[in-house]
Amino acid sequence: MKKLVVSTGAGISAESGLSTFRDAGGLWDKYPVMDVASHDGFVRNPSLIHEFYNTRRRELLKVQPNSAHYGLKKLEEWYDVRVITQNVDDLHERAGSSSVLHLHGELMKVRSMTREDRVYTLTPDNLETSPDTRDAYGDPVRPHIVFFQEAVPNFDAATALAREADIFVVIGTSLNVYPAASLLYYVKKGTPIYYIDPHPAAIPPEAGNVTIIAKPATEGVADLITILSETK
């Protein structure tokens, strides 16, 4: 079975009603990014960051996966589909995707500030955290999010997947967020690449053979399914 590796950004979840970060009117227009999403901001005012992500979780519970998320699940009928996402929501998982690698963390999880390997999944009935929240070991917790000024721990795993891809797909991203945007350059030469975005960024020639589908994620994934179902 061919390996289909899909890199997704905010555009795939925007159609479900989630606020994006970088677009006009997005979250960074409403909140100073370094206050609510940086390491220094967390050290300076952890209460603000806890509340910011409490609010994001409440918003997440109000939305559902869209047809683009479900379309990637459908492609598992014909391909070994591996999703690499910049998104911190759980919409890929809720749509049933079997393999999801989160580059920037997971909104519905927190982790110990003493032991990073102690990661806990929150539930709809237990969403709220604060600087006073403790785990079963008595350790304070923080959002399981990769803040600005922090390393992206799953990037090596993501580049390994990109290298193994028989087909590579990029959905709903401006290709301006690094290191995620550089995944294109790890794909083997000659590998078919599809880029789905209503406002696609310019693709450097060294990125290889890229087919652009200039549509929103829901429409673009429907087109992708048609194309790939004919070549599977």
pTM, two decimal places:
0.93
pLDDT attached to residue 24 = 45
- The answer to whether 68 and 221 are in contact (CB under 8 A) is yes
- Phi/psi of residue 22, each to 5°? -100, -20
Selection from 61, 53, 169, 156 nearest residue 106 by Cα: 53
Q: How confident is the model at residue 208 (pLDDT cuts 50, 70, 90)?
A: confident
Cα–Cα distance between 205 and 105 in angstroms, integer? 31
pLDDT attached to residue 1 = 93
pLDDT attached to residue 175 = 83
Separation in Å, CA 145 to CA 115, 152, 209:
15, 10, 33
Instruction: Calculate the dihedral angle through the C-alpha atoms of 142, 181, 183, 156, rounding to the nearest 10 degrees.
Output: -20
Lowest average pLDDT, out of 25-34, 93-102, 182-191, 199-208, goes to: 25-34
Active site residue 102: no
Separation in Å, CA 87 to CA 10, 61, 205:
6, 15, 27
Q: What is the mean pLDDT of residues 171-196?
A: 90
Q: What is the mean pLDDT of residues 15-43?
A: 74
pLDDT attached to residue 27 = 52
Does residue 179 register a pLDDT over 90?
A: no
Highest mean pLDDT pick, 21-25, 34-38, 203-207: 34-38
Q: Give residues with Cβ within 8 angstroms of 24, minimum separation 6.
A: none
Q: Which two tokens stand for residue 145?
A: 């999010």
Q: How confident is the model at residue 174 (pLDDT cuts 50, 70, 90)?
A: confident
18/78: higher pLDDT: 78
Q: Which of 50, 92, 102, 104 is catalytic?
A: 104
Instruction: Calculate the dihedral angle through the C-alpha atoms of 173, 224, 207, 180, rounding to the nearest 10 degrees.
Output: 30
Cα–Cα distance between 194 and 103 in angstroms, integer? 20
Does residue 177 register a pLDDT over 80?
A: no
Selection from 59, 61, 58, 83 nearest residue 70 by Cα: 83
3-state helix, strand, coil in the chain (%, to 5): 35, 20, 40
pLDDT attached to residue 232 = 67
- Residues 50-97: pLDDT tens digits? 999 999 999 999 999 999 999 999 999 999 999 999 999 999 999 999
Q: Which two tokens stand for residue 214?
A: 């200039």
Cα–Cα distance between 69 and 85 in angstroms, integer? 12
197/232: higher pLDDT: 197
- The answer to whether 195 and 9 are in contact (CB under 8 A) is no
pLDDT attached to residue 28 = 45
